[in-house]
Amino acid sequence: MISYVIRRSLLAIPMLLLVSLIAFFILTLPPGDYMTSYQNQLTSQAGLTTAEAEEMADEMRQKYGLDQPFLIQYYNWIKNIVTNGDFGYSFFYSKSVSAVIWSRMGYTLLIAGLCHFISVFVGVIIGIFSATHKYSFADYIFTVLAFLGVSIPAFFLAIFMMYIFSFELGMGVGGLFSDEYIMAPWSLAKVWDLIKHLWLPVIIVGFAGTARNMRVMRSNLLDVLGLQYIQTAKAKGLKNKTVVYKHAVKNAIKPIVMSMGSALPFLITGEMITSIVLDLPTTGPAFYNALVNQDMYLAGSFLMMIAVILVIGNLLADIALAWVDPRVRYN
């Protein structure tokens, strides 16, 4: 297993370099750059002449190397990441890319981790219950909720929930803190305020994943329960709980374990539109702003981060699959 992890990690290096090259190339395809928008702002808002604005924009391009050919820009970006841990400068936020990412990463990981745990744990539990109580009233209820979960876009659910809690129930929603705690130092009161605001985005972002896992678990478990070795185990007098949880569930849960790695990047983006709707200080809105404003170093760093998380997530999923199913061996 250790040799497999080392081999996968070494193979990930050229793959990540290829992903970064393709991502950086795509980000440079749109005409112009951030300095083009900056130049337009100087002429429309600052009252500078076209020549003055163009001169200032050209100076900024030279300062940050945006006037260099594509391959030189990419080489300098990768070299600074490897040698100095410097991901570049965010023009839109006027600070380093690392500062932008890490200021939002904590909340992103908190929300993503809770959503991932709920979507897997709750989805699997409900899926097992529905499969073992097939065609019962509760099974019909959970099936309808699952169909709604995979059908309703998360951003629409966010808007709907905000309307219900704000206008119908008179509760403040949106953001992760009340106004008085946004700039306040950390304390027990601020932590409690975070918890009071945290449950809504967790439910909204995790609802679709819970629904998908429930449907997959129910379908797989029903297939496994119909297999010959399960019928033989029951015929030998094993208790139903032993047959279901010790034998059937271990085989039915494999597809969910395998998909856990690929689900992580989507959770890390924080359901971009949902985060914008709920005004969450996560990486999703920052990534969106970077794409819209052609903030190439910030957008490229986000894409690199997503690729790294995808590689790590798939590796952890493979290890978890080997732990669930002892027949799986990696050499």
pLDDT tens by residue, 237-285: 778 788 887 778 888 887 887 777 667 666 666 567 778 888 888 888 8
Amino acid of residue 92: F
pLDDT digits (tens, 9 = 90+) for 35-75: 887 777 778 776 777 787 788 888 888 888 888 888 888 88
Which of 76, 87, 71, 64 is closest to 21 using CA atoms? 71
Distance CA 221, CA 91 (A): 51
Looking at residue 241, its pLDDT comes to: 80
**What does residue 89 show for φ and ψ, rounded to 5 degrees?**
-115, 135
Looking at residue 243, its pLDDT comes to: 81
Q: What is the mean pLDDT of each successive set of 10 residues along the chain, which is 331 residues long?
A: 73 83 83 78 74 81 82 88 86 88 84 85 91 89 90 83 76 75 83 84 85 90 84 78 80 79 66 78 84 86 82 76 65 58
Looking at residue 141, its pLDDT comes to: 93
Looking at residue 182, its pLDDT comes to: 78
Looking at residue 329, its pLDDT comes to: 63
Task: Give the CA distances from residue 92 to residues 20, 161, 290, 305, in Å, rounded to whole numbers and listed in that order.
Answer: 21, 31, 7, 19
Which of 296, 274, 272 is closest to 286 using CA atoms? 272
**What does residue 95 show for φ and ψ, rounded to 5 degrees?**
-155, 175
SS (H, E, C) the chain: CHHHHHHHHHHHHHHHHHHHHHHHHHHCCCCCCHHHHHHHHHHHCCCCCHHHHHHHHHHHHHHHCCCCCHHHHHHHHHHHHHHHCCCCEECCCCEEHHHHHHHHHHHHHHHHHHHHHHHHHHHHHHHHHHHHCCCCHHHHHHHHHHHHHHHCCHHHHHHHHHHHHHHHCCCCCCCCCCHHHCCCCCCHHHHHHHHHHHHHHHHHHHHHHHHHHHHHHHHHHHHHHCCHHHHHHHHCCCCHHHHHHHHHHHHHCHHHHHHHHHHHHHHHCCCHHHHHHHCCCCHHHHHHHHHHCCCHHHHHHHHHHHHHHHHHHHHHHHHHHHHHCCCCCCC
Q: Which sequence spans correspond to the domains of the chain?
A: 2-96, 101-324
Which CATH number applies to 101-324?
Answer: 1.10.3720.10
Distance CA 196, CA 81 (A): 38
The structure's pTM equals 0.77
Distance CA 89, CA 97 (A): 5
Contact yes or no for 301/88 (Cβ under 8 A): yes
Looking at residue 233, its pLDDT comes to: 79
Place of tokens 């970077």: 290
